Amino acid sequence: MSTSAHPQHQHAPQPPTPPKNGLGTAGFVLGLLGLIFSFIPIIGVVAWPLVILGIVFAAVGLTRIRAGKATNKGMAIAGLVLSVLGLVIAIVWTAVFAKAVDDVNTEANRAVTVHYEVTGTAKDASVTYTTLGDGGSSVSQEQPKTLPWTKDLTAKGLLKGGSLTVTTGMSGGEVTCKVVVDGKEAKTSTASGNFATASCDGF
């Protein structure tokens, strides 16, 4: 009695699972975009979420590479480096902006001392002075009987400018105006003759 042999069925080998490189690639793209935006003032605020996500995705991508599930090691490392650089630049910009705001607030809250001074030989000089600041502005005129003449004012907030003008009268003579702001000479001018004007402005 003959027996027939049945051929054994052989299973075909499973194809290898394709590497999942999406996270590492995403980390690289986000890190690159975040680094580019981090250099732009104000607009660079959008770099924060980009670089943070770039760090997360690149780190997860490296973990998958160590587990043999991804192969784009170079791109994942580059994404991590770019993201970290972008984060550092974003932090620096934030610190610079915070310091600038603090400096402006300090200047806005301080008191500025303005010293006006007029000297000379004129006997009938007319003095007009203004002071401008965040606290308001004022315009005044005086006719001192004798020179020198001085006036000290305090401007609150940022000093936006001011002026000191002195004009001789019919009898002529020489006049010199001087403006000192917080102890530093800011402007000086001299004029002589009848109805001559010395102007100290633009400080």
Question: How do residues 128-159 score in pLDDT, each as one tens digit?
Answer: 998 766 556 778 899 998 999 999 988 776 66
Tokens matching residue 82 = 């770019």
Number of separate domains in the chain: 2
**What does R_g of the chain's alpha carbons equal in angstroms?**
38
Q: Among residues 108, 133, 148, which one ends one of the domains?
A: 108
What is the domain range of residue 155? 111-201
> What are the C-alpha distances in Å from 82 to residues 49, 66, 102, 109?
14, 20, 30, 41
| pLDDT bracket for residue 97 (50, 70, 90) | confident
Residue 180 in any domain: the answer is yes
Q: Same structural domain for residues 115 and 192? A: yes
Q: Is 68 left (phi over 0), alpha (psi -120 to 50) or beta?
A: left
For residues 97 and 166, state if they share a domain: no
Q: Which residue carries 């770039």 as its tokens?
A: 54
Distance CA 52, CA 185 (A): 51
Q: Does 2 fall in a domain? A: no
Q: For residue 13, is it within any domain? A: no
- Cα separations in angstroms, 111 against 54, 155, 182: 47, 6, 9
Report yes or no on 87 lying in a domain. Answer: yes
Helix 73-109 crosses helix 22-38 at what angle (to 10 degrees)? 30
Percent of the chain with pLDDT over 70: 86
The residue with greater pLDDT, 18 or 198, is 198
Judge whether 174 lies within some domain.
yes
Residues 69 and 117 in one domain: no
**How many residues would you count in the chain?**
203
Domain end position, chosen among 82, 108, 134: 108
- Same domain? 104 vs 169: no
Q: What is the pLDDT of residue 104?
A: 76
Residue 70 shares a structural domain with residue 91: yes
Same domain, 194 and 117: yes
Can you tell me whether residue 54 is helix, strand or coil?
helix
Check whether residue 42 and residue 94 sit in a common domain: yes
Higher per-residue confidence, 102 vs 50: 50
pLDDT at 202 over 60: yes
106 neighbors 165 (Cβ within 8 angstroms): no
